[in-house]
Structure 1
Amino acid sequence: MSSRTVEGPAGPGGPDVPGELAFRLLGPVSVTRAGAVVPLSGAKIHTVLAVLLLARGALVTDSRLSAVLWADAPPSTSNAQIYTYVSRLRKTLGNRAQIFRKGPGYVLDARDSEVDLFSFERLERLGRRALEEKRPEEAGRLLGSALDCWSGQALENVTEHLLRCERPRLEFLRTQALERRIEADLSLGRHRSLVPELLSLVARFPMDESLRAHLITALHRSDRQAEAVQVYGEGRRILDEQLGVVPGRQLSDAYLRMLRGEGAGPQRRPVVLLPARSATFTGRTAEAARLRSLLLRRPSGPGARPRAALVTGMPGSGKTALAAEVAHDCAEAFPEGVVHADLQDADGTARPPAAVLAELLAALDGTEDATRTARHGLNELVRRYRARTADARLLVVLDDASGDGQLTGLLPAGPGSALLVTSRTRPAALSAAHTVVLGPLDEEDAVALLAEAVGDDRVRAEPGAVRDVVRHCAGLPLALRIAAARLAARPHRTVARFAAQLADPGTRLAALSYGTLDLTRTFGRAVSRLSPGTAAVLPWLAAVGPGPFTARLAGEVTGLEEAGAEGALEELVDAGLLFAEPGGATGEDRYRFHPLVLLHADAAPRRELPR
């Protein structure tokens, strides 16, 4: 593992300043030492501190700091300014919380300090568990303590660029904790004392249906039915005027139970149809934060549409694993649940939209199996799906889309829902601004992925061999997962022995196969989706080498006209089998192979190309 390096003559933390530190993120970003406020000036230095704390001891790169400080318009002196902010923080914090220079960024070690966000998360987690285990008294106490960690809106004094990325997620966590605490109080019969608080909350958040439903229940149990009817009518009017939707299931059910004179029964459990989280998921911190921000952003204004996000990247880049991780993180923001559908069969064949729609409808309704639902025609299935999602708050995850044609009819209809798509191409139906592109993992994250599977001790025992394995996998998450699985299955063998197998290009792809994980098969499925002409060109392109190279050079190697070669190269880029790079001095577009794709292309049989 790489060692931590420090900048500046004063060492990593500057002069030793006594006193325990406490950091606040759930309100104005601030620091106190032994109860006294530590002075910090300016939004940017507060932003740097907040980003380092939010990273929880992970590396924050210079590019990440630049993005949250200046977005897309950093000054020419950005690196110097970042260095200045970090130096000022080091001097201010002292040795109680140390900032290290590590590779292309910085790490804040605040393990010995109190951070209000981390305290909130711990208390909320314990309170949620107590509520799930039917211990409402303890749940209410823990969740109340969690909410006491807040002192205003999260991150009040940072740049707008950081606010856009992080505040929606933090404020959502606060709302969820509040709703759970109210649920605990209702189950303890504290409805009368809840009414004033809920009246205030509904006035502040008039379109929050969950809070309004709780208010109706509290009023009903307090024998204030006339007011409960008025609260429901006001909510229905606001939803119609502001969003053009009718009340959702939770609010409607609370109203109907009140009309029937029933107590608040258990709510229907939301659908959660998702792949399991990957046990070795590592890295992708910035990409995951970007996706959460896109999916948790609340729609506003007339004509609002469902939020949508696209994850794209080459075969094996971890699109599905990232989507599953983010969907699990965001699930509680969608009261009616999360549904997932694979858009490709195991052999790489695109699934018919009717089959996917039938599967989604069966999961959402919980009354019919997919085979029975599929008997309806495509148009009827699309109509049912749009009606079912028109006023729902769902997260729909569509995995491995092959293009716009396959997405037609699968987009949720209502503004309360969100869509997360993975694809090797970039469907025109989804905005480029909402696209997250996955590149290779850097060495640090790649080593961390291996360590998750084989253990830190084994990684530390053979650091050179581990770096060799990482280098031969070229940052491709699937290759690293296969390598990790093979090493974990043979704990008695050295890492160096496996690294030697990978060192030979002729046996590398064969070595990157374990159980159902097979890199050659994954690349083969991607090739099978190409047009026959482009699939035939790919093996001949291996003679060009890793690149970068131009369409003119590709044409010379394959014997194709430059225009024909360029068309094949562009299709390979769309399939995730080539990287495109900005043009060089001549203005010609340039292309580059991933090392493992190049090996796959070189091993494929060469057929005669049509002239």
Structure 2
Amino acid sequence: MAAAPAEGIAEADRGGGTNGSLEFRLLGPVSVSRAGEAVPLPGTKIHTVLAVLLLARGTLVADGRLSAALWGDTPPPTSNSQIYTYVSRLRKVLGQPVQISRKGPGYVLDVHDAEVDLFSFERLDRMGRRALKENRYEEAGRLLGSALGCWSGHALDNVTEHLLQSERPRLEFLRAEALERRIQADLALGRHRSLVPELLSLVARFPMEENLRAHLITALHRSDRQAEAVQVYGEGRRILDEQLGVVPGQQLSRAYLRILRGEGGSSTAQRRPLVVLPVRDGAVTGRTTEAARLRSLLLRRPAGPAARLRAALVTGMPGSGKTALAAEVAYSCARAFPDGVVHADLQDAEGAARPPADVVAELLSALGETGQGPGRDLNDLVRRYRSRTASSRLLVVLDDASSDAQLTPLLPAGTDTALLVTSRRRLVTVPATSTVSLEPLADEDAVALLAETVGAERIRAELPAARDLVRYCAGLPLAVRIAGTRLAARPHWPVARLAAQLADPRTRLAALSYGDLELARSLNRALSRLSPATAAVLPWLAAVGGGPFTARLAGEVIGLAEPEDALEELVDACLLTSEPGGPALGEDRYRFHPLVLLHAAALPRKELPR
């Protein structure tokens, strides 16, 4: 059951590999490409061996398993030597950095950071399931549509019948479930009319799939096509009786009963405010105090005639976990806001600030307001938004605000609604007393965060190496998560192996990249918001070192008479920290985060403005 990826999906959502060279495909004909060019694989047997090794996900594949996939129950006398030949050919064709190692009675395939479409599909499907369960329908539809876009045909289309019979049903079942979940998300978003053609085609192809037929009945009913919906139910009842001798199940029966009772049609369907929040990636480690402070700010009911909007701001350097903390706090506070929790990203996929009119229209749409297409007047949208929020008990979460000018039109009205904002800079719109700044994690908290991703037993077994690893990450949660994700994807790697890669400052930033997580990209997005003059100063400033240093010292090192404006802009962007110099020094002191310093030192140097 194929489906095109949701419109507007960024290429990064497909979960592309980081090495930019090798891509393995299992969800369609088994194939390999290098830098977009197909790698020739001769014969069905070679495709089968590659598929079995990939499906093992870096674990040992015994010779007997390969033999069963190649020849079933009747292997030839020379099966072991033939398997050896196939593996040797694969090694030669795939080359570096792929490794196929002989271990005991079998083989292990290590594809390093290459893309495997099945793994990308499973990751996106898992994230989409979670979003759907938490009623984040827009995000669920986007993720599940992208997961389905990983497919390019029927799974394992060019392997032996033995492997096909054992593996394809499972993979096609996962595909069908992902498609059904994506349809559920679209129905929850009110996209019933656009779903009807797709569902008609799917029901025609899979006439005994009751859930798909129930979704079609629902979509037709909501589109005021009740007669057709009744007909679809009647056809399904007849087919089930004739082909299987059974009556319709609960989901199909409920969809039919809703028609008879007049429930859920276009005139009666009520759209709930969406609980739209970023993906919840486990517990937020090391932020207990900050989370408690944010909950206190959001749940404290204002009183008196001077009562103001409840607002809280989370600031911190790129990768400090602002979005994750805000999402965790929003989930924990959701029950206190019976009219819902709505969320909007204030930056586009390229890191540019989104126009406030687009964001307000998105929020109104999430709250059930119709007719909020692009091109609407901002003043009119703001009036409708504040009217809608004035008497509501909502939590509005705005992620990655770039300025007060962007944030001001997005402020909700009323004291029963609360606002939670994340930003890389302090904003005067939110009082300083309501601002929570995220500092780097302590080493023990960083180790605990690593253990959440990698597994506590694995970390305990190599605790000294784990401590070295998190020190190289300098307490930055994004860096720790990337390192943990790399280790989780390579269960046979010792922790010390990755720690050794991070130990070298020259390769540290490159090693802090996996899948769609990349520290350098996060830092570059922050740099893109700097003024051109300050952006030009940053690479030169790396020569000052980590600090602490004064503005006077910075000016002497980089040859700039008045560097204060650039330094303060970098502080505002959370790319530098500042602290009072004390009476003896008489000047503020500045300090680089170690990973920001490495990134700045790697940037090209342009001529400084004088």
Paired residue type of 1:474: A
1:226-283 residue CA offsets vs partner (Å, 9 max, x unmatched): xxxxxxxxxxxxxxxxxxxxxxxxxxxxxxxxxxxxxxx9997453111121225312
CA distance in 2, matches of 1:543, 1:276: 38
Does residue 287 of structure 2 align to residue 308 of structure 1?
no
Residue type at the aligned position of 2:278: P
Match of 1:510 in 2: 510
Given that 2:273 and 2:366 are in contact with CA atoms closer than 8 Å, whether structure 1 keeps it comes out as no
The aligned counterpart of 2:575 is 577
Partner of 1:411: 411
CA distance in structure 1 between the aligned counterparts of 2:456 and 2:368, rounded to whole angstroms: 45
Over 3 Å counting, the alpha-carbon distance change for 1:323 and 1:499 in structure 2 is same
Structure 2 residue aligned with 1:462? 462
Among candidates 331, 341, 352, match of residue 349 of structure 1? 352
Letter in 2 for 1:579: T
CA distance in 2, matches of 1:358, 1:322: 25
Equivalent in the alignment of 1:480: 480
Name the CA distance, whole Å, in 2 between partners of 1:422 and 1:402.
Answer: 9
Structure 2: how far apart are the matches of 1:383 and 1:513?
A: 43
Distance 1:328 1:267 in 2: 23
Match of 1:568 among 552, 566, 575: 566
Mapped to 2, the partners of 1:408 and 1:302 lie a distance apart of 22
Between the aligned partners of 1:483 and 1:347, the Cα distance in structure 2 is 24
Q: Gapped runs of 5+ residues in structure 1?
A: 1-264
Whether the 8 Å CA contact 1:273–1:340 is kept in 2: the answer is yes
Structure 2 equivalent of residue 592 of structure 1: 591
Q: Distance in 2 between matches of 1:542 and 1:271?
A: 45
Cα distance in 2 between the residues matched to 1:332 and 1:471? 38
Structure 2 stretches lacking a partner, 5+ long: 1-267
Aligned partners of 1:366 and 1:384: how far apart in 2?
Answer: 9
CA distance in 2 between counterparts of 1:450 and 1:507 reads 20
Aligned-partner SS, 2:347 = coil
Asked if the contact 2:580/2:588 (under 8 Å) is kept, the reply is yes
Distance (Å, rounded) in 2 between the aligned partners of 1:367 and 1:266: 14
Distance 2:345 2:423 in 1: 11
In 1, Cα distance between equivalents of 2:282 and 2:405: 33
- Report the alpha carbon displacement of residue 548 of structure 1 after superposing the two structures with TM: 0.2
Counterpart of 2:340 in structure 1 is 337
| Contact preservation (8 Å) 2:297, 2:312 | yes
Give the alignment of 1:1-150 within 5 angstroms. Answer: none
Query: Structure 1 vs Structure 2: percent identity of aligned residues?
Result: 74
Structure-to-structure mapping, 1:438-457, within 5 angstroms: 438-457=438-457
For the 8 Å contact 2:273–2:342, the answer to whether it is kept is no
| CA offsets 1:565-610 (integer angstroms, 9 cap, x no match) | 0110000000110011111322100000000000000011111112
Question: Equivalent residue of 1:271, what SS?
Answer: coil
What one-letter code is carried by the residue in structure 1 that aligns with 2:361? Answer: A
1:461 & 1:427 partners in 2: Cα distance?
A: 44
Tell me the equivalent position of 2:376.
376
* Structure 1 runs of 4+ with >6 Å offset: 265-268
Cα shift at 1:362: 0.3
Q: Give the match for residue 283 of structure 1.
A: 286
Letter in structure 2 aligned against 1:432: A
Equivalent residues, number: 343
What do the CA deviations read for 1:120-166 (whole angstroms, capped 9, x no partner)? Answer: xxxxxxxxxxxxxxxxxxxxxxxxxxxxxxxxxxxxxxxxxxxxxxx
Structure 2 vs 1, CA of residues 305 and 266 (structure 1 numbering), >3 Å: closer, same or farther?
farther
DSSP 3-state at the match of 2:578: strand
Q: Which letter does structure 2 place at the counterpart of 1:580?
A: S
- Verify the 8 A CA contact 1:278 1:325 in the aligned structure 2: no
- Structure 1 residue 392 corresponds to structure 2 residue 380: no
* Matched AA of 2:326: A
- 2-side partners of 1:558 and 1:447: how far apart? 37
Partner-residue secondary structure (3-state), 1:591? strand
Q: Secondary structure at the match of 1:399?
A: strand
Partner residue, 1:318: 321
Tell me which amino acid in the other structure corresponds to 1:589. Answer: D
Q: Which residue of 2 aligns with 1:539?
A: 539
**Counterpart in the other structure of 1:365:** 368
Greater RCO (CA < 8 Å, at least 6 residues apart): 2
Q: Provide the C-alpha distance between the structure 2 equivalents of 1:276 and 1:283, rounded to a whole number of angstroms.
A: 19
Look up the SS of the partner of 2:563 in the other structure: helix
CA distance in 2, matches of 1:303, 1:266: 39
CA distance in 2 between partners of 1:279 and 1:572 (Å): 31
Query: Which residues of 2 match residues 185-264 of structure 1 at below 5 A?
Result: none
Could you tell me how far apart the structure 1 residues matched to 2:444 and 2:501 are? 22
| 8 Å Cα contact 2:271/2:368 also seen in 1 | no
The equivalent of 2:608 in structure 1 is 609
C-alpha distance in structure 1 between counterparts of 2:545 and 2:358, whole Å? 42
- Is the Cα contact below 8 Å between 1:341 and 1:360 reproduced in 2? yes
* 2:338 partner letter: P
Find the counterpart in structure 1 of residue 523 from structure 2: 523
Identify which range, 377-386 or 274-283, moves more after superposition. Answer: 274-283
Where 1:272 maps in the other structure, the secondary structure is coil
Which secondary structure state, in structure 2, belongs to the residue aligned with residue 339 of structure 1? Answer: strand
Query: 1:345, 1:351 within 8 Å by CA — same for their partners in 2?
Result: yes
Q: Residue 366 of structure 1: CA displacement?
A: 5.4
Q: Distance in 2 between matches of 1:507 and 1:267?
A: 54
Preserved contact between residue 280 and residue 453 of structure 1 (Cα < 8 Å): no
Question: 2:226 matched to which residue of 1?
Answer: none
Q: Paired residue for 2:297, among 279, 294, 298?
A: 294
Shift in CA distance, 425/568, structure 1 to aligned 2, threshold 3 Å: same
Deviations along 1:38-57, one digit per CA (max 9) or x if unpaired, are xxxxxxxxxxxxxxxxxxxx
Q: Distance in 1 between matches of 2:533 and 2:527?
A: 11
Q: Does residue 277 of structure 2 align to residue 274 of structure 1?
A: yes
Query: Could you report, residue by residue, the CA deviation over 1:151-206 in whole angstroms, capped at 9, with x for unpaired residues?
Result: xxxxxxxxxxxxxxxxxxxxxxxxxxxxxxxxxxxxxxxxxxxxxxxxxxxxxxxx
- Does residue 430 of structure 1 match 2:433? no
CA shift for structure 1 position 513 = 0.4
Check whether the contact 1:312–1:319 (CA below 8 A) recurs between aligned residues: yes
Q: CA deviation at 1:300?
A: 1.2
RMSD of aligned residue pairs (Cα, Å): 1.7
Does the aligned pair in 1 maintain the 2:272–2:368 contact within 8 Å? no
Residue 335 of structure 1: how far off its partner (Å): 1.0
1:557 deviation in Å?
1.0
1:397 and 1:355 mapped to 2: Cα distance?
Answer: 15
